[in-house]
């Protein structure tokens, strides 16, 4: 029987050398070094200015020094957004996973002194809090908030509102942002307690297809603090106070309204605290010249959808031009661009004429409708023109400007009658089928 040793020796000789025996790379780098270089190239990304409403809302709330809570499904990019925000603001990022900490980690650890009966038992803060105080500034990121049990959530109340951990006070330069997954997609998730939820500005974090594609290509949106107009600060504060106080004076039941369901209690809802945050955010958004979309995200994130939509509608009406000013100078009147606001302004003018019907005011209102016809959609004039015509008194001459509007009203009425006939024809087969 042939010996097997020569075969084994030949097999080993023909086997590729192991990495430990392989010759060194010509450049002197190991495979791990080359892999590290590849990883570095993959992580080498840049940023660009790009309109992003949710990112602008986040930076505006951070600038206002209000705690923010980002809600989003796992993997949506909440942590990456916070990391990029900290880098762009040059703030040291401290990440704390709330669900893996004990309540004492946020309320302070008891430490016995020399004489507890005289000196008491001080509550020592954790090391990450000490580092934030030493730095004097930073971004504290509380991740996985919805997986923190109720006892930990209770311990977080003082940290989020008062910025205090045990006997340690966080400096004003520290901002707090948290992230959470909906309970349906959180690992062993809990609903947020109402006291904790009411301390945050809640922002729904979603992905934008174009942003993700461009970001994977190496360019992400740049997170930067809003540019506030220093000259507009007093007017912004006055505008915010007038908006919130005027709204709550008309809707006193919305000053404090705790939702009835547990899920909604874990989100934004109206309270004196959340209205105070709303006032601050309106002032910041006004001073920064933010869009209505950004303002809507922020207000809905503090007091909830219903109260926020009512407030925003009230702010739109508050910004409408005075109908008396429009009647005083119809030729030079500047009407709102948005259709709903223009319609409201014209309706207010007609209501002003009805309240004090005079021939000169009636003529001015017609002149204003002609002005609106020249600068906007004609269909917005149908209702105010029809209503204004009914206010004519017997001794008032019909102004020539009515002729320019007659065609608009006639066409609209014909369109309405045609729509009614089409609807009637559609309804006949249905009735026959019964």
Residues 302 and 334 in one domain: no
What is residue 236's predicted lDDT score, i.e. its pLDDT?
95
Q: Specify the CATH number for the domain of residue 127.
A: 3.40.50.300
Residues 298 and 351 in one domain: no
Residues 344 and 304 in one domain: no
Spacing of C-alpha 384 from chain mean position: 36
What is residue 26's predicted lDDT score, i.e. its pLDDT?
52
The closest of 156, 154, 166 to 124, measured between CA atoms, is 166
Residues 274 and 354 in one domain: no
What is residue 258's predicted lDDT score, i.e. its pLDDT?
93
Tens-digit pLDDT profile for residues 89-117: 889 999 999 888 888 888 777 776 666 66
Check residue 187 and report its DSSP letter. Answer: T
Residues 207 and 255 in one domain: no
What is residue 60's predicted lDDT score, i.e. its pLDDT?
95
Residues 288 and 350 in one domain: no
Going by DSSP bridges, is the β-strand pair 137-143/93-97 parallel, antiparallel, or unpaired? parallel
Please state, in angstroms and rounded to a whole number, the distance separating the CA atoms of residues 425 and 352.
41
Residue-averaged pLDDT of the chain = 82
Among the ranges given (13-27, 141-155, 336-350, 403-417), the one the predictor scored with the smallest mean pLDDT: 13-27
Query: Between vectors from CA 159 to CA 157 and to CA 164, what angle results, nearest 5°?
Result: 130
Residues 298 and 336 in one domain: no
Assign 2 a pLDDT band (cuts: 50, 70, 90).
Answer: very low
Assign 434 a pLDDT band (cuts: 50, 70, 90).
Answer: very low
Distant-in-sequence, close-in-space partners of 222: CB < 8 Å, separation ≥ 6: 47, 48, 49, 50, 88
Q: Which of 263, 286, 318 is the last residue of a domain?
A: 318
Tens-digit pLDDT profile for residues 360-388: 998 899 888 888 888 777 778 888 888 88
Residues 330 and 375 in one domain: yes
Among the ranges given (22-31, 334-343, 351-360), the one the predictor scored with the smallest mean pLDDT: 22-31
C-alpha separations of 277 from 135, 157, 236, 238, 315 in Å: 27, 16, 14, 15, 17
Residues 110 and 190 in one domain: yes
Please list the residues that pair with 204 across neighbouring strands: 71
Among the ranges given (16-30, 226-240, 325-339, 380-394), the one the predictor scored with the smallest mean pLDDT: 16-30
Using DSSP's 3-state secondary structure scheme, residue 214 falls into helix
Q: What is the pTM of this model?
A: 0.72
8 A C-beta contact, residue 165 and residue 108: yes
What is residue 57's predicted lDDT score, i.e. its pLDDT?
95
What is residue 167's predicted lDDT score, i.e. its pLDDT?
80
Q: State yes or no: pLDDT of 154 exceeds 80.
A: yes
Residue 147 lies in a domain: yes
Mean pLDDT of the region 69-75: 88
Residues 307 and 360 in one domain: no
């Amino acid at each position: 029987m042939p010996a097997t040793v020569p075969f084994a020796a030949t097999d080993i000789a023909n086997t590729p050398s192991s990495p430990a025996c392989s010759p060194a790379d010509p450049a002197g780098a190991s495979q791990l070094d080359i892999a590290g270089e590849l990883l570095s190239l993959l992580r080498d990304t840049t940023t660009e200015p790009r309109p992003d409403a949710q990112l602008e809302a986040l930076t505006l709330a951070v600038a206002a020094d209000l705690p923010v809570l980002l809600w989003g499904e796992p993997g949506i990019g909440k942590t990456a957004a916070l990391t990029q925000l900290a880098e762009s603001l040059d703030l040291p990022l401290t990440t704390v996973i709330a669900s893996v900490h004990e309540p004492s980690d946020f309320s302070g650890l008891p430490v016995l002194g020399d004489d507890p009966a005289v000196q008491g038992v001080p509550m020592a803060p954790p090391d990450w809090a000490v580092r934030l105080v030493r730095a004097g500034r930073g971004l504290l990121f509380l991740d996985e908030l919805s997986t923190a049990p109720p006892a930990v959530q209770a311990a977080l109340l003082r940290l989020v509102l008062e910025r205090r951990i045990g006997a340690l006070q966080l400096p004003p330069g520290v901002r707090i942002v948290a992230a959470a997954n909906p309970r349906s997609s959180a690992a062993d998730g809990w609903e947020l307690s109402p006291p904790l939820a009411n301390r945050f500005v809640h922002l729904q974090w979603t992905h934008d297809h174009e942003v993700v594609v461009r970001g994977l290509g190496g360019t992400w949106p740049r997170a930067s603090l809003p540019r506030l107009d220093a000259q507009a600060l007093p007017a912004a504060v006055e505008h915010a106070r007038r908006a919130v106080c005027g709204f709550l004076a008309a809707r006193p039941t919305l000053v404090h309204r705790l939702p009835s369901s547990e899920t909604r209690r874990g989100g934004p809802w109206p309270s004196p605290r959340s209205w105070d945050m709303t006032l601050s955010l309106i002032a910041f958004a006004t001073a920064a010249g933010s869009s209505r979309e950004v303002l809507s995200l922020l207000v809905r994130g503090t007091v909830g959808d219903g109260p926020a939509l009512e407030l925003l509608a009230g702010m739109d009406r508050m910004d409408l031009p005075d109908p008396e000013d429009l009647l005083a100078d119809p030729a030079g009147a500047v009407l709102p661009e948005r259709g709903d606001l223009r319609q409201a302004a014209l309706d207010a003018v007609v209501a002003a004429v009805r309240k004090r019907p005079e021939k000169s005011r009636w003529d001015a209102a017609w002149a204003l409708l002609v002005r609106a016809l020249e600068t906007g959609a004609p269909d917005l004039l149908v209702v105010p023109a029809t209503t204004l015509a009914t206010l004519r008194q017997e001794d008032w001459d019909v102004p020539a400007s009515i002729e320019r509007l007659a065609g608009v009203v006639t066409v609209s009425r014909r369109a309405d009658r045609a729509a009614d006939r089409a609807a009637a024809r559609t309804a006949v087969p249905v009735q026959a089928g019964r």
